[in-house]
């Protein structure tokens, strides 16, 4: 028999144990006292020495007099239970208090190791699951549209209910802090497109038409499209991450408990901010792309006045209005998909990352689809 005494938190906790051997039952271990982090070490070492030689057919642990057990004690019992199972034996724990037994059953992580591996799904199963997920996403998207339209309509009728401070904060984050990157990308794209277009046209002496090509492509197509893609990577991911983190922290549940609508409280200010700043960001993109084109045209020997006249003569108000309308629609798609993915965030360490990635990918896909619809619609309308 061995005894170890440990003073912990003002109380003297002791552990007493004894080993006995039985030809029929194997090793019999009797434990009395407190099985905790301070006392289990010596017992663990002694048990390993007993099992180092010939492994007994089983271990019987008499734990009826154990009055305290912590995670270290549970680890001791679970470890040797697993060890004996691997060696073809078994461990029988007798007399353990129901509360302690309940803790061990729920905290055991060894049972999951015995579960068979999940069989690999066939391509038809993967396709079916993807179809079901697409159906759920479509349902969630249309449900969100209804909720947003209801909340937005109520906010328009009663503007005082809108959190204008949040709207201004989101305008700063979405718009003011994105001006530099949008302007830089616009300048570089204007520079590159003008240069790449001027080289083939130079063979025909038609370099002057670079200004018209750049103006039409930027105002009607690339300006709103590239700006929306930049916003999908910057703003859409930000919305998904913010709302997803709030959902994981159960802040959205708290809003619902207090009688506040998460859509009206969180989504409406973000959607309003995106709708306001997106046309301005698109105009910044177009303006700086014209600056890049002006540098190329100046290097080819064309005066700045000629370059500006070519752009203003070829572009009309309908082209500018079409580009701005695209920008507003794209802003709705970017903010919409970001908020939806944030509200769809599940639990787990990687949930926010998955929602953010999904928001960016889904946003870019929706922008491309919407741009194709606009192209066909403008063609038939003669715009």
pTM passes above 0.75: no
Domain ranges of the chain: 2-114, 126-381
For the chain, the straight-line distance linking the first and the last C-alpha, in angstroms and rounded, comes to: 96
* pLDDT value at residue 60: 81
Q: CATH says 2-114 is which class? A: alpha beta
- Segment 87-139, tens digit of pLDDT: 777 777 888 887 777 777 665 554 544 445 556 778 888 888 888 888 887 78
The continuous run of DSSP H or E covering 6 comes out as strand 2-8
pLDDT-above-70 percentage for the chain: 90
Residue 7 pLDDT exceeds 60: no
* pLDDT tens figures, 168-216: 888 888 888 889 999 999 999 999 998 888 888 877 777 788 888 888 8
Query: Is residue 228 very low, low, confident or very high in pLDDT (cuts 50, 70, 90)?
Result: very high
How does strand 58-69 pair with strand 26-35?
A: parallel
**Residue 286 near residue 223 (C-beta atoms within 8 A):** yes
Which sign does the torsion angle of CA 373, 376, 382, 383 carry? positive
């Amino acid at each position: 028999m061995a005894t170890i005494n440990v003073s912990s938190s003002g109380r003297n906790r002791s552990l007493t144990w004894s080993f006995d051997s039985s030809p029929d039952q194997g090793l019999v271990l009797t434990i009395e006292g407190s099985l905790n982090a301070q006392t289990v070490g010596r017992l663990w070492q002694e048990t390993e020495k007993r099992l180092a030689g010939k492994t007994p057919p089983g271990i019987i642990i008499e734990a009826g007099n154990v009055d305290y057990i912590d995670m270290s004690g549970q680890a001791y019992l679970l470890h040797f239970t697993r060890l004996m199972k691997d060696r073809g034996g078994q461990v029988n724990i007798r007399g353990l208090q129901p509360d302690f037994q309940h803790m061990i059953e729920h905290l055991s992580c060894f049972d999951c190791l015995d579960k068979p591996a999940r069989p690999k799904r066939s391509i038809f199963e993967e396709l079916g699951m993807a179809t079901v997920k697409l159906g759920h996403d479509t349902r969630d998207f249309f449900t969100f549209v209804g909720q947003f339209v209801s909340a937005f309509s109520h906010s328009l009728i009663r503007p005082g209910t809108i959190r204008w401070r949040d709207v201004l904060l989101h305008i700063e984050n979405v718009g003011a802090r994105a001006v530099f990157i949008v302007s830089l990308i616009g300048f570089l794209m204007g520079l590159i497109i003008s240069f790449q277009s001027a080289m083939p046209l130079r063979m025909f002496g038609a370099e002057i038409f670079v200004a018209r090509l750049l103006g039409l492509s930027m105002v009607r197509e690339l300006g709103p499209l590239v700006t929306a893609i930049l916003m999908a990577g910057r703003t859409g991911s930000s919305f998904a991450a913010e709302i997803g983190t709030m959902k994981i922290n159960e802040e959205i549940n708290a809003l619902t408990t207090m009688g506040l609508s998460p859509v009206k409280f969180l989504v409406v200010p973000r959607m309003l901010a995106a709708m306001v700043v997106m046309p301005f960001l698109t105009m910044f993109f177009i303006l700086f792309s014209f600056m890049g084109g002006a540098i190329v045209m100046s290097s080819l020997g064309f005066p700045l006045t000629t370059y500006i006249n070519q752009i203003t003569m070829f572009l009309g108000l309908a082209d500018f209005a079409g580009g701005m309308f695209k920008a507003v629609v794209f802003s709705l798609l970017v903010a919409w998909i970001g908020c939806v993915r944030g509200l769809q965030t599940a639990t787990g360490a990687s949930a926010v990352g998955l929602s953010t990635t999904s928001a960016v990918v889904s946003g870019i896909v929706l922008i491309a689809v919407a741009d194709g619809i606009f192209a066909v619609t403008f063609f038939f309308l003669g715009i």
